Structure 1
């Protein structure tokens, strides 16, 4: 009889715990720069990875530097254009990209502070690339559709000119804190080595602990990803945060239970409780490697958005959440938690496309 009463009390307490409003306790909160907005652009890949690099610079040198997202964008578009031209328009030409595109740009073109290259022209205060991308795509399509297929090399010059008009002329040297730099020497000052950072994913259609090219639309540069088991992906993420390393994140944000307005991302066990799950703590679905793969292959999990993981929290039931820095601003009725998303581990397990971390946090047996 006593056992029965104990079970009833336990179930009652558990039920109460899963129907309360969210109460979060911070476990880890790593240093990062302010939340800013990517404006009306599809350049989350540059904003999030720049934020990730800013945190890395603080971790390595203690210096707080606001990096230019648009310097990287400016130097990546010509490569996108080349890819589009050489594939005769049979690929995507868009504003999207991935974290390794930033690292490729950093390795080749260096880094620049934001006050030197903002990418904002004519006293604008908000980024908007809709017209620029339309002009570039129209230009490239005109060359591709040339009946004689005799491409003039002028398309490269015209592409550069369009980028100069909309984003500003590129940077070769500048002064920062009283010292003269080139983008490459500025990179050296930050102590960032692009080769130290590795993109990791977890999909079962390729062998684990091997590298492969992830076939998603924004991977125009054919970047390779280290493929590991899902549990290892979560383990590396948790250990990195505990060791003081932040993490670059590429994930799907199309779920109704990803809400910037509520500052929350969860995967409720009951599919009919999606809206309720944004306001009350509900049981979440158990995410397996098989379910993750299934959702990726049926397009329910797609490459939507890149963000920056800077910490860890737990709710009143002990459920783990990641503190994810977004790039949609922080002063809006549509944005909670000052621009951060609290993402449950279940959401992370199901909806993460990839992460990027410093190689030092990856176990040797996996890295080798």
Structure 2
């Protein structure tokens, strides 16, 4: 009888713990610029990386500067167009990209403030690239079909001028004249200081490799580490005051911008309940992560910006992730942020980008030898 009573008490408190609404406590909260919206575009890669660079500028100089996302989008569309033409249309042409596309752009073309180049024309207040990308692709397809018809480079530039605005060669900012490259130097951003990490077992750990995902049109290299090293790197970086750019899968039903939450509950737990009440999560292994990547359950969907750590009442850690879908007062979404559990991060992360000084010493040492 006594054993039955103890079993009842154990089950009761277990069920009670599952019905507890989330109660979060901030552990680390690093400075970032305001949450904004990418509008009707697939340019989260530029919004997230620009936000990441804005936090880097704050960390390095103490200055808060709103960078232009569209300046680097414009140059990346040109690079994407070149790749599409040279591959004779036998590759993807879309709005998608990755963090290293922004790094490639700023290496060659620098940075400009958003007040100088907003990418918004004709009084528009919201970004919309649906017609832009369609126009670019149709133009490039015409050229590929008959390369003698027109100069595709000039036509592409003209289209970008029409939709986003002409390229910036120099500008005045706070009473000083800059080129985009001199402005990047002024805010102390050096693209060579940043590295992208991933974690997949089909390639050797502690080596660089080209990750075969659709948006990696520029064949960027990723440094491969174990799953534990990837999570430890993020935790280490945040504790040292560094934020992190994040590329991950947000297609799961348990990723909710409405609730500002991303979790991986164990099988059998109701999804709607898991987004409201603390629930037990799956244990994520390297093998399971690889399986989900190879069967397309984990895909390269969306890029965001990790700026802190929170924990729930049970001590479970969540990453505070800045999204680029704007603020919606009708949603309980932490002001446009997502609280992403470590389990979700481990399963659904494609890659992270961060400053080399944020890496654990062991990883940095190996990276330098790779």
Quote the RMSD (CA, aligned, Å).
1.7
- 1:296 matched to 2:279? The reply is no
| Residue aligned with 1:206, SS | coil
Q: Paired residue for 1:119?
A: 119
Q: Tell me by how many angstroms 1:151 deviates.
A: 4.7
Correspondence 1:212-361 to 2 at 5 A? 212-334=209-331, 336-361=333-358
Q: Paired residue for 1:32?
A: 32
Cα 1:257/1:71, change in 2 over 3 Å: same
Residues 182-206 of structure 1: per-residue CA shift (max 9 Å, x gap): 1011000010110110010000000
Q: Paired residue for 1:156?
A: 153
CA contact (8 A) 2:356 2:364 kept: no
Query: Aligned equivalents of 1:42 and 1:167: distance in 2?
Result: 15
Q: Paired residue for 1:99?
A: 99
Query: Aligned equivalents of 2:176 and 2:332: distance in 1?
Result: 38
CA contact (8 A) 1:31 1:310 kept: yes
| Residue aligned with 1:275, SS | helix
Cα 1:6/1:364, change in 2 over 3 Å: farther
Q: Tell me by how many angstroms 1:357 deviates.
A: 1.0
Q: Paired residue for 1:140?
A: 140
Query: Aligned equivalents of 1:152 and 1:112: distance in 2?
Result: 35
| Among 196, 202, 206, the residue aligned to 2:203 | 206
Q: Tell me by how many angstroms 1:207 deviates.
A: 0.3
Q: Tell me by how many angstroms 1:361 deviates.
A: 2.0
- 1:130 matched to 2:130? The reply is yes
CA contact (8 A) 1:76 1:101 kept: yes
Query: Aligned equivalents of 2:324 and 2:221: distance in 1?
Result: 25
| Residue aligned with 2:303, SS | strand
Unaligned ranges ≥5, structure 1 = none
Q: Tell me by how many angstroms 1:333 deviates.
A: 2.8
| Residue aligned with 1:341, SS | strand
CA contact (8 A) 2:143 2:150 kept: no
Aligned residues: 365
Cα 1:7/1:56, change in 2 over 3 Å: farther
Residues 72-130 of structure 1: per-residue CA shift (max 9 Å, x gap): 00111111000000101110000000000000001100000000000000010000000
Question: TM-score, length-normalised on structure 1?
Answer: 0.96
Cα 1:151/1:355, change in 2 over 3 Å: farther
CA contact (8 A) 2:61 2:187 kept: yes
| Residue aligned with 1:163, SS | helix
| Residue aligned with 2:318, SS | strand
Q: Tell me by how many angstroms 1:18 deviates.
A: 2.4
Q: Paired residue for 1:65?
A: 65
